[in-house]
Structure 1
Amino acid sequence: MIVIGYNGFTDGAETFGRLYGATGIDRHSILGHDAAAALFVDGELVAAVEEERLNREKKTSDFPVNSVRWCLETAGKSLEDVDFFAFPWAFSPELTADMIGDISGAGLTVEQKFDRLRRFGELYTGLVSKEAILADLRRRTGLDIPADKLVLVPHHLAHLMCGHYLAGGEDTAFLISDGRAERLSSIMGEVRDGRIQVFENTVVGVTHSLALLFGEITRYLGFMPNNDEYKVMGLAGFTGPRSDNPLLKHVVELQENGRYALALANEPSGTRAYYGLLDELYGVREGEREELDFRIRLARDAQEMIEVVTAHQLGALQARTDLRRLVFEGGLALNCVNNTKLLEESGFTDIQVSFGASDPGVAIGAAAFVNGVQRRPRRTPATPYLGPSYDDDAITAALREQAEHVEWTELDPADLARETAKLLSEKTVIGWFQGRTEYGPRALGNRSILANPGFPDIKDIINTRVKHREPFRPFAPVVLEHEAPKVFEMGKKSSSPYMTFVFPVKPEHQEAIPGACHVDGTSRVQTITDESNPLLAELLRTFTELTGVPCLLNTSFNVAGEPIVNSPADAIQCFLGTEIDHLVLGRFLVGKRAPQR
């Protein structure tokens, strides 16, 4: 059976701009953002790529026509070969009727109700109904399929099935928490004996969305919601928790069964209503919101709020299930500081957070759902390296296009790791482009910027000269899995392959890797093995032999506001537009030509 999972709408950005006044990147931030496609053949995930990597529009919500075509082409399949198309939103007639009832019963004026119903009606008929999704598929691919070949998968179940499939398909408890699904923002339950059970008395509605509130705090602090929440998480590390947290006192209320309620859940203006409340609680004026001291204080309170609320949820889940493995998915699962605390302070023996935890993963999850909950091992290990790769001919063609600006040396593959390690032993920054593009929001070693974390100022060099972003931003170390426990306090985890957990750096190693330590002495760690990424593992071994430094600094190969590079041309363009010192493009070592006088 051949299944394509995909996420994205042709007219999504235009619709949300017209109906809800969304502008800029916000137009992509409501439904369909992180558009992508994933291909399953006979139950196995064989290809997946995010549309932004191909159309170069960050966070795009467009119909992923390029991604669909690439997935099929790389597997030697055609659109006509596809048995099912799986879409990770399911606004069924029954659910839609309930949502209409929610609007009608809300504490709004008659005029406000009619306005919401009008806009929701246009959204439903023009974008999210099954008829509209079928029409969009036909418009962008030219393929006219019968309605039963399009399977609409509830958004949270798509998140769940991405995590469940990539974690190995075993029985597991689950927590899904994100900004919004169709009507809810969070669910909990079990996958047991091939059956999904949602614990209905634990669900949280979208008007009480913790992730949306965290996103609005992100905007309030001057960052971009649904994109920059990790900046707030990073800022929180600059100070410790306070005994008096206004958010826990006045904004969120913990309830029975792991549920919670937000103070302004029913305000007509939505999460923007919190601006006035935050101003009042913190005694700030609008111009003071972006002052660093205030940003740190509110960021710490917001982070603690996330930690307290999700621990409350896990406490209720743990009391309800005897399963001790947990799959945690949804946008909130990208908060890696919280993930570690949840694991260490709960009775769960392991928490799995996938490389597709946020909305890129729902394309994988929707297709996995159609394949069914199968309690059997995958034929191949889970890997994030699912996107396009480029051979020597494609790389040399891209280099020749920029021959006026770059020069290159072809290395013997046997020498690649050693030559790169020699360069990294100095205070240099290297663009590293190898193999298939990673899937998800993190660069995991194939489209990465690498540097030596032994230099204390390497973070400042990369933030200011390369990434063009805020100086407080930390970077992640990549380390061989068997070496990780020697350097980091791993707790219950034995591996962290997707940068979804944070660990304290052991005191004796903090001076050795200052460039990879956050201000609070922690690191967001990526572990690798010879099986998961053999070339990067070889580079790490060689680098450690040369320098004695046990890890490399790894950050995404892009600049602020741009998607991670995908093609050789993307990599060369980014290299030329930054102060990256060297580019290792496949087996080619690339430098910049001195400008001619």
Structure 2
Amino acid sequence: MIVLGCNGFTRVAEFFADNFGAVGRDKHYLMGHDAGAALLIDGELVAAVEEERLNREKKTTDFPIDSVRWCLDHAGLELSDVDLFAFPWRWDTEVVGQVLADISAAPMDPLAQRQLLTGIRQLAAEVVGPEAMLADFAERTGFTPDPSKVVFVPHHFAHAMTGWYLAGMRDSAFLVSDGRAERFSALMGEIRGGRISVFDGSTIGSENSIGILFSAITRFLGFVPNNDEYKVMGLSGYAAPPVPNPFLEDLVELHAGGRYSFRRPLETDNPHGLDPVFEQYFGPFEETLEYQARVAAAAQEMLTVVTNHQLVALEAATDLNHLLFEGGVALNCLNNTPLFEGSRFEDMAVSFGASDTGIVIGAAAHAWANHPDNAGRELTPSYVTPYLGPEYDDAAIEQALRAFGDRVGWTRLGDDEIVDQVSKLLTEKVVIGWFEGRLEHGPRALGHRSILANPKFADIKDVINTRVKHREPFRPFAPLVLEPDAPRVFEMGRKTRSPYMTFVFPVRPEFRDVIPGATHVDGTSRVQTITDAGTPRLAALLRRFTALTDVPCLINTSFNVAGEPIVCTPADALRTFLGTEIDYVVLGNYLVTKAEPAK
């Protein structure tokens, strides 16, 4: 069975700009970001890629025409070969009616209410409804799917199934929390045998979305909502949360069954709606580290309290011992570690596709697992890697190198020579672009499109932030560490691995002076554990580097600059290399340097 997952809309950005003023900083505040495609063949995930990596538009909402084409080309297939088309949204007549009823019942200005009702009807009819989505698909691909082969998966079901599939398809309890889906912002329940059961009493409506609230705070602090929440997470380490915390004292109310609400419900169509409340709590906005950190610390504590409240209710409602946490809120890795450590669950998985980047995988997995052909069958998991996108052979790399003419020099080395030479270069204060194999999926660079550096230099963070990434100086960097070494360097608690940078751990005191460049101001690190099986050459590089330096980690950050997607092609990598102060770049087996300027 061949299943194609597909997320993205040709007109959604235009619609929200025209009807809700969602432009500029607020462009991604609403739905549709992180377009992409994924392909399952007989239950095996063979390809997945985000459209932004191909069209080079960060967090694009556009229909994923390039992603669809690449996934099919990679597998040698045509659209006519696909058995099921899975979309991670279900805006059918029933759902639209429920959304309209929610808006009609909300305490709102009558004029604003009528405008919102009209806008939602138009949105469904013109952009996200089943007929509109199929028309968009046909127009962009030239292929009209048989309606009997099309599955519209509720957005939060797609999130839950992403976690289930990527965690090995074991029966699990789940918490999904994000900005908003069709109607809700959070679901809890169980997945058994690929079938989802929702604990309806714990469902959270979008008007009380902790994800949207956190995004509104992100915007208030001067950042891009639905994109820069990790900046707020990083800022929170520079301050203690205020006592009392106004978010918890004056805004959030906790209720039985894991429910919560806001004393002032969100205007989900207005990202500026709570700005006056934030200024009431913290005073007029100031673009200073002290002010921003104080707000960020309060927001981070609020998020932890609310999600822990949900998790306590989930523990009481299920007898399953494995937890999946998915949705955009699950990318707040500073929150994830205390959630798990304070729970009774034996393990907690947060996938590399926890945000909307992964819902194409979850939609495809849901359509496959719940197809009548699989009824009553035991579904056998296959090994899943995050390295699911395009890769480039020597010929493609050399073609790109020649295209840059005399601006670069390069040497082709053997596998062992690359590892040996790069490990020696990394003993110094250098920054190296590392490009190998298939592109990773999801928002984190996981070692195939990465920037590497030596964390023993305390000021390497400043070098990378200012001279390479062109971003704020307060931003921390993640260390990658061999999985067996991780408990020696970090206080891992009950976790034994963190392969996707989705958990934060304290750095053990004896290593804080060893890896200061990868230790945040609060003494923690967002850790990526690696293995020989998962990333053999990167593991060999780290092992050789450690033998030379006694430093057990390397800094790993995404191979891009602020505002741009992670690089995909060799040409992308070379443009970034030449436009920054990266010292060297490794393209497969090619060690590349910048040519000396002519005298």
Structure 2 counterpart of 1:45, which letter?
L
Are the structure 2 counterparts of residues 564 and 202 from structure 1 closer, same or farther at C-alpha, using a change threshold of 3 Å? same
CA deviation after TM superposition for structure 1 residue 263, in Å:
2.2
Residue of structure 1 equivalent to 2:230: 230
Structure 1 counterpart of 2:284: 285
Distance 1:206 1:418, change over 3 A: same
Q: Deviations over 1:572-595 (max 9, x none)?
A: 000000000001111001000122
**TM-score (ref. length: structure 2):** 0.97
Distance 1:537 1:168 in 2: 23
Q: How many residues align?
A: 593
* DSSP-derived class of the 1:463 partner: helix
2:358 to 353, 361, 368: 361
Shift of 1:194: 3.9
* Counterpart residue type for residue 381 of structure 2: R
Is 1:242 aligned to 2:239, yes or no? no
After TM superposition, the structure 1 stretch with the greater mean CA deviation from structure 2, 398-407 or 193-202, is 193-202
| 1:207 pairs with 2:207 | yes
Read off the aligned partner of 2:185 and give its amino acid letter: S
1:346-357 equivalences in 2 (<5 Å) = 346-357=343-354
**Aligned residue in 2 for 1:405:** 407
Q: Is the 8 A contact 2:337 2:503 kept in 1?
A: yes
Trace 1:111-126 onto structure 2 (pairs within 5 A): 111-126=111-126
> Which letter does structure 1 place at the counterpart of 2:214?
F
Q: Deviations over 1:489-546 (max 9, x none)?
A: 1111111000000011111111111111001111000001111010101101111111
Mapped contact 1:14–1:27 kept (Cα < 8 A): no
Return 481-490 or 20-29, whichever deviates more: 20-29
CA distance in 1, matches of 2:364, 2:125: 24
SS at match of 2:446: coil
- Name 1:472's counterpart in structure 2: 474
Residue among 355, 378, 381 paired with 1:378: 381
Equivalent residue for 1:50? 50
Q: AA paired with 1:351?
A: M
Question: SS state of the match for residue 111, structure 1?
Answer: helix
Matched with 1:309 is 306
Q: Is the 8 A contact 1:247 1:302 kept in 2?
A: yes
Q: Distance in 2 between matches of 1:563 and 1:595?
A: 29
Match for 2:507: what amino acid?
Answer: V
1:268 positional shift? 8.3
Q: Say if 1:559 and 1:170 are closer, same or farther in 2 by CA, change over 3 A.
A: same
Q: What does residue 454 of structure 2 align with? A: 452
Normalising by structure 1, we get a TM-score of 0.98
Q: Which letter does structure 2 place at the counterpart of 1:532?
A: G
Write the letter of the residue equivalent to 1:238: Y
Distance in 2 separating the partners of 1:237 and 1:296: 7
Aligned counterparts of 1:586 and 1:194: Cα–Cα separation in 2:
38
Question: How much does 1:107 deviate?
Answer: 2.1
Question: For 2:540 and 2:59, how far apart are their aligned partners in 1?
Answer: 33
Assess if the C-alpha contact under 8 Å between 1:108 and 1:268 holds in 2.
no
| Secondary structure of 1:441's aligned partner | coil
Partner Cα separation in structure 2 for residue 249 and residue 122 of structure 1: 38
Structure 1 CA distance for aligned equivalents of residues 37 and 456 of structure 2: 39
Alignment check: 8 A CA contact 2:326 2:355 kept:
yes
- 2:373 alignment partner in structure 1: none
* Counterpart contact for 2:478–2:526, Cα < 8 Å: yes
Aligned to 1:351, what secondary structure does the other structure show?
strand
Query: Residues 25 and 223 of structure 2 are in contact (CA less than 8 Å); yes or no, is this contact kept in structure 1?
Result: no
SS in structure 2 opposite 1:272? coil
User: 1:103-128 CA distances to partner (integer Å, 9 max, x unpaired)?
Assistant: 22222344333211221121111001
Distance 1:148 1:28, change over 3 A: farther
Maintained 8 Å contact 1:456/1:515: yes
1:375–1:550 CA distance, 2 compared to 1 (3 A) = farther
5+ residue gaps in structure 1? none
Secondary structure of residue in 2 paired with 1:574: helix
Structure 2, gaps ≥5 residues long: 371-376
Q: Is 1:156 matched with 2:156?
A: yes
Q: 1:375 to 1:426 in 2, by over 3 A?
A: farther
Q: Are the structure 2 counterparts of residues 195 and 457 from structure 1 closer, same or farther at C-alpha, using a change threshold of 3 Å?
A: same
- Equivalent position of 2:91 in the other structure: 91
Write the letter of the residue equivalent to 1:106.
A
Counterpart position of 1:2 = 2
1:262 maps to 262
Query: Structure 1 residues 29, 273: closer, same or farther in 2, change over 3 A?
Result: closer
Q: Which amino acid aligns with 1:241?
A: P
- Structure 1 residue 98 displacement after superposition: 1.4
Deviation at 1:324, TM superposition (A): 1.6
1:191 matched to which residue of 2? 191
Q: Aligned-pair RMSD on alpha carbons? A: 1.3
Q: Distance in 2 between matches of 1:241 and 1:86?
A: 43
Q: Distance in 2 between matches of 1:414 and 1:300?
A: 45
Residue 535 of structure 1 aligns with which residue? 537
SS in 2 for 1:306: helix
Say yes or no: does 1:217 pair with 2:217. Answer: yes
Aligned counterpart in structure 2 of residue 335 of structure 1, from 332, 335, 353: 332
Corresponding residue to 1:431 among 433, 437, 448: 433
Aligned to 1:510: 512
**2:294 equivalent in structure 1:** 297
Residues 28 and 221 (structure 1), Cα distance of their counterparts in 2 relative to 1, 3 Å cut: closer
Q: Is the 1:107–1:266 Cα contact (8 Å) retained in structure 2? A: no
* Superimposed CA distance per residue, residues 322-372 of structure 1 (whole angstroms, 9 cap, x where no aligned partner): 112100000000000100010111111211000000000101000000011
Check the 8 A contact 1:12/1:28 in 2, yes or no. Answer: no
Judging changes above 3 Å, is the alpha-carbon distance between structure 1 residues 375 and 208 closer, same or farther for their aligned structure 2 residues?
Answer: farther
- Identity of paired residues, percent? 58
User: Secondary structure at the residue paired with 2:395?
Assistant: helix
The answer to whether the Cα contact below 8 Å between 1:159 and 1:365 also exists between their aligned partners in 2 is: yes
Give distance in 1, aligned partners of 2:267 and 2:79: 45
Query: For 1:464-487, what per-residue CA distance to the aligned partner results, in whole angstroms no more than 9, with x for missing partners?
Result: 100011111000000111111111
Q: Is the 8 A contact 1:487 1:505 kept in 2?
A: yes
Question: Partner of 1:397: helix, strand, or coil?
Answer: helix
1:545 aligns to what? Answer: 547
* Change in 2 beyond 3 A, CA 1:352/1:84: same
Between the aligned partners of 1:273 and 1:71, the Cα distance in structure 2 is 41
User: Are 1:17 and 2:20 matched, yes or no?
Assistant: no
SS, match of residue 310 in structure 2 = helix
Rate the CA distance shift 1:149–1:26 in 2: closer, same or farther, 3 A.
farther
Q: Deviations over 1:241-280 (max 9, x none)?
A: 3331011001110011000001221658745221111111
Structure 1 window deviating more from structure 2 (465-474 vs 107-116): it is 107-116
CA distance in structure 1 between the aligned counterparts of 2:19 and 2:227, rounded to whole angstroms = 22
Aligned with 1:392 (options 385, 391, 394): 394
User: In the alignment, is the contact (CA less than 8 A) between 2:26 and 2:271 conserved in 1?
Assistant: no
Distance 1:89 1:431 in 2: 37
